[in-house]
Chain A
Amino acid sequence: MIEEHLPLLIVVIPLLSAPIAAVLPNGRIAWLFSTLISFIVFYLASTQLFEISSLASTDAPVKSIQYALGNWPPPIGIEFKIDGANALVALIISAIAAICMPYAYTSVAREIPEKQTALFYSAYLLCLTGLLGIVQTGDIFNLFVFLEISSLSSYALISLGKQRRALTAAYQYLIMGTIGATFFLIGVGLLYAETGTLNMTDLAQRLPEVFEYRTVHSGFAFILIGIALKLALFPLHLWLPNAYTYAPSIVTIFLAATATKVAVYVMIRIIFTVFGINLIESTPTRELFLLLGMAGVIAASITAIYQTNAKRLFAYSSVAQIGYMVLGIGFGSVLGLTASFVHIFNHAIMKAALFMALGAIMYRISSNHISDMRGLARKMPWTFGAFVIAGLSLIGVPGTAGFISKWYLVLAALEQQAWIVVAVILTGSLLAVAYIWKLVEIMYFNSASETKNDDVKEAPLSLLLPLWLLVIANLYFGIDTSVTVGVAEPTAAMLLGGKP
C-alpha cells in the first residue's frame, strides 16, 4: 500500500510534519523529530529511484510512475509523474536534507536562538516539502505553488542569520524571487490560454500545434526568465551572494545544495518535456544558454577570487557552477544533459561539503572572513582535510566527483566541436584553483600564533561526521558512476525523445 502512494508520500510526510515540528518543545525534541522525518523521506526517495531504475531495465512500455491525486484522472486532477529525472533530483534533495540534520543540532544551537529552534525546523521541513513537490509534480500550476512554498520558507530561513544584513538579504531575495515566480505565473497563464491545459504531458502534446502563435512564444519567454531568476543564472544572480553569505550555516548548506539545483531541474523539464527539443530549435534558446553559461562561468569565477568573505566566495562559485549546468542544457544533446544531471548531483555533494567545512570553522572562530582563518589547518586538521578534498572536487581533479561532470561536459562540447566552450570550461577550472588556493594558503601557510586562533580546537564530532560522509561520497562518486551517470544517461536520452 505504501509502495502505491510513494510519489505522494514523499511530499506529504514533510508537509504534515512541518506544523507538528512548530508546536514541539524547542531544542532536542524538535530536532529529533525532524531528523526522523528527513531520514524517512530519504528512504522513500531512494526506494523511488530504485523502482524507476528497475523499470528502465525492463521492457515495460511505460518507464514512469504516474500517480493521480485523489484518484482524479489527469488532466482533470493533478498528476505526479515520476521518471528518472524526478527520481534522481528527489534523491539528491532528500539525501542532502537527511545528511544536514545530524550537523544541524550543534550548528543550530550555536547560531539560532533557542526559542526559535522549533520554528526553524518547521520552516526547514516546509522548504523540503516545497523542493520535493516541485520535483514530483507533473502539473505546471502545482509546480508554481510548490515553488512558492519552498521560496517563502527559504526567505524565512535566511532571515534567521545572526547579522542584521541577513534581513536585507532575505528581503532582496523575496523581491527578486517573487518577481521570478510571478513571471513564471504569467507564462503559465499564456500557455493555458492557448492550450487549455496545465498538465505537462498534455501541454507537450498540444503545444506543437499552436507553437507559431506569439502568445506561446511570449509565454515561453516569461517562464524562462522566471526560472532563470530562481536558478540565479548570470546575470540574474544578484540575490544569491548576499542570501548565502548572511544565512545561518546550516541554511546555506541546505539551500546551496538543493534550491538552485531544483530550479535547473525545472528548466530542463520545461524545455525538454513540455516544449521539446524540436520546438526549441526554432528559437535562439540554446545559443542564449551557451552564451550566458560561458559568461557566468568566467565572470562569477573571477568575482569569487576577489572576495574576502569565504561564504561569499563560494556563493559566487555556485553561480559559476550553475553556468556549467546551463551549458549542458545549451548543448541540447544526450551528453550535455547527462553532464547537467551529473553536475546537479556532484555539485550538491561538493558544495554541501565545502559549506559544512566553513560552518565548522564558523562554529569555532565565529567568523567567515578569510583573514580570520590564519593557521587553522594545524588547529583543525580534519576540517581542513575535508575542505581540501571537496575543493579538489570543485576544481575537477581526476578521482573526485567533480571530474566526472566536467569530463562529460567537455565531451559534450567536443561532440559539437565547440572549442570556445571547452576553453571556457578549462579556464573556469583554473580560476577555481585560484580561489581554492587562496583559502588553502591562508589556512595552511600562515601561522596561527600571535592571532586569536592560537587556542582553537578541532570541530566537534557531530559536525565532522556528516562533513566526512560527504567527502567520502565525493571520492566514491568519482570512481563509481553507476548511480549518477547510470541514471542520468537514459534519462537524458528519454528527455530528448529517445534520440541516441
Chain B
Amino acid sequence: MQLIIDNYNYWLVIILMMAGFYTVISRSNLIKKIAGLNIFQVSVFLLYISIGHVKGGAAPIIEEGVKLYSNPLPHVLILTAIVVGVATTALGLALVVRIKEAYGTIEEDDIHKQDQSL
C-alpha cells in the first residue's frame, strides 16, 4: 500500500498512458482518437517530470541557502516535447477538418464504407 502512495505519480502515469492508448485504438471517432493520443503523450510528459524530481530538492531556481535542486533538464526536454505534441495535434485536427469536408463524416467505419463502395 505504501508503495502505491509513495509513487502515486508513476501510477498516474501508467493509468493515463493506458487510458490514452486504449482510446486511440478503440474509438472510431477521429477527434476522440486525437484526444486519446494527447492523453497518451501527456502521460509521458508526467513520466519525465517525475524522473526529474530529486528527493528533498527545491524547484530548480537559484536561491540563497538552497543546496539541493531538482533536475531541470527533463523539464526542458518536455517543453520541447509539448511543442511537438501541439504541432501533431494541430496537424491531426487539420486533417480531420479536411476529411470531414471530403467524406462528410468523421466516423472511421463510415469512411471505410464509403471507400469500399467505390
Chain A residues engaging chain B, CB cutoff 8 angstroms: 141, 144-145, 148, 152, 155-156, 159, 164-165, 167-168, 170-171, 174-175, 178-179, 181-182, 185-186, 189, 192-193, 198
**In the complex the two chains form, is B103's CB within 8 Å of A171's CB?**
no
Q: Which residues of B contact A144 (CB under 8 A)?
A: 81, 84
Q: Which residues of B contact A148 (CB under 8 A)?
A: 84, 87-88
Q: List 20 A-B contacts (CB under 8 A).
A: A148-B87, A152-B91, A155-B91, A159-B95, A159-B98, A164-B102, A165-B115, A167-B99, A167-B102, A168-B99, A168-B111, A171-B95, A174-B88, A175-B92, A178-B41, A178-B88, A179-B21, A186-B44, A189-B48, A189-B51
Q: What's the Cα separation between A399 and B96 when bound, in Å?
A: 48
Q: What's the Cα separation between A192 and B21 when bound, in Å?
A: 23
User: With A171-B92, A189-B44 in contact, do A179 and B24 touch (Cβ < 8 Å)?
Assistant: yes
Question: What residue in chain B is nearest A165 (Cβ atoms)?
Answer: B115
Question: Which of A152, A175, A189, A198 is close to B87, meaning CB atoms less than 8 Å apart?
Answer: A152
Q: Which residues of B contact A167 (CB under 8 A)?
A: 95, 98-99, 102
**Shortest distance between the CB of A177 and any CB in chain B (Å):** 9
**In the complex the two chains form, is B92's CB within 8 Å of A185's CB?**
no
User: With A152-B88, A155-B91 in contact, do A185 and B51 touch (Cβ < 8 Å)?
Assistant: no
Question: What residue in chain A is nearest B118 (Cβ atoms)?
Answer: A165
Q: What's the Cα separation between A179 and B103 when bound, in Å?
A: 25
* Chain B 97-115 near chain A by CB (<8 Å), digits 1 or 0: 0110011000000010001
Q: Which residues of B contact A145 (CB under 8 A)?
A: 80, 84
Question: Which of A165, A175, A192, A198 is close to B51, meaning CB atoms less than 8 Å apart?
Answer: A192
**Shortest distance between the CB of A250 and any CB in chain B (Å):** 20
Q: Which residues of A contact B51 (CB under 8 A)?
A: 189, 192-193
**In the complex the two chains form, is B33's CB within 8 Å of A175's CB?**
yes
**Contacts between chains A and B (CB distance < 8 A), count:** 68
Q: Which residues of B contact A141 (CB under 8 A)?
A: 77, 80
**In the complex the two chains form, is A182's CB within 8 Å of B41's CB?**
yes
* Chain B 18-39 near chain A by CB (<8 Å), digits 1 or 0: 0001001000001001000100
A contact face: mostly helix, strand, loop, or mixed: helix
Q: What's the Cα separation between A141 and B44 when bound, in Å?
A: 14
Q: Which residues of B contact A164 (CB under 8 A)?
A: 99, 102-103
Instruction: Give the number of residues in B that approach A within 8 Å (Cβ atoms).
Output: 28
Q: What's the Cα separation between A152 and B89 when bound, in Å?
A: 10
**In the complex the two chains form, is B40's CB within 8 Å of A179's CB?**
yes
**In the complex the two chains form, is A192's CB within 8 Å of B102's CB?**
no
**Shortest distance between the CB of A226 and any CB in chain B (Å):** 11
Q: What's the Cα separation between A186 and B30 when bound, in Å?
A: 24
Q: What's the Cα separation between A168 and B21 when bound, in Å?
A: 20
Looking at A144, A152, A171, A193, the one whose CB has the most chain B CB atoms below 10 A away is A171
Q: What's the Cα separation between A156 and B48 when bound, in Å?
A: 29
Question: Which of B30, B44, B95, B111 is close to A185, meaning CB atoms less than 8 Å apart?
Answer: B44
Does B16 make an interface contact (CB < 8 A)?
Answer: no
Q: Which residues of B contact A170 (CB under 8 A)?
A: 95
User: With A167-B98, A179-B40 in contact, do A156 and B91 touch (Cβ < 8 Å)?
Assistant: yes
**Shortest distance between the CB of A120 and any CB in chain B (Å):** 15
**In the complex the two chains form, is B44's CB within 8 Å of A171's CB?**
no
Q: Which residues of A contact B92 (CB under 8 A)?
A: 171, 174-175, 178
User: With A148-B84, A168-B111 in contact, do A155 and B47 touch (Cβ < 8 Å)?
Assistant: no
Q: Which residues of A contact B87 (CB under 8 A)?
A: 148, 152
Q: Which residues of A contact B41 (CB under 8 A)?
A: 178, 182
Q: What's the Cα separation between A198 and B80 when bound, in Å?
A: 15
User: With A178-B88, A179-B24 in contact, do A171 and B96 touch (Cβ < 8 Å)?
Assistant: yes
**Shortest distance between the CB of A291 and any CB in chain B (Å):** 24
Q: What's the Cα separation between A182 and B51 when bound, in Å?
A: 16
Question: What residue in chain B is nearest A142 (Cβ atoms)?
Answer: B80
Q: What's the Cα separation between A422 and B81 when bound, in Å?
A: 43
Question: What residue in chain A is nearest B84 (Cβ atoms)?
Answer: A148
Given A159-B98, A171-B92, A182-B41, 9 further pairs, Cβ under 8 A: A145-B80, A145-B84, A152-B84, A168-B115, A171-B99, A179-B24, A179-B37, A182-B40, A192-B51
The A-contacting residues of B in range 49-87, CB under 8 angstroms, are 51, 74, 77, 80-81, 84, 87
User: With A145-B80, A145-B84, A192-B51 in contact, do A175 and B37 touch (Cβ < 8 Å)?
Assistant: yes
Q: Which residues of A contact B111 (CB under 8 A)?
A: 168
**In the complex the two chains form, is A155's CB within 8 Å of B95's CB?**
yes
Q: Which residues of A contact B47 (CB under 8 A)?
A: 186, 189
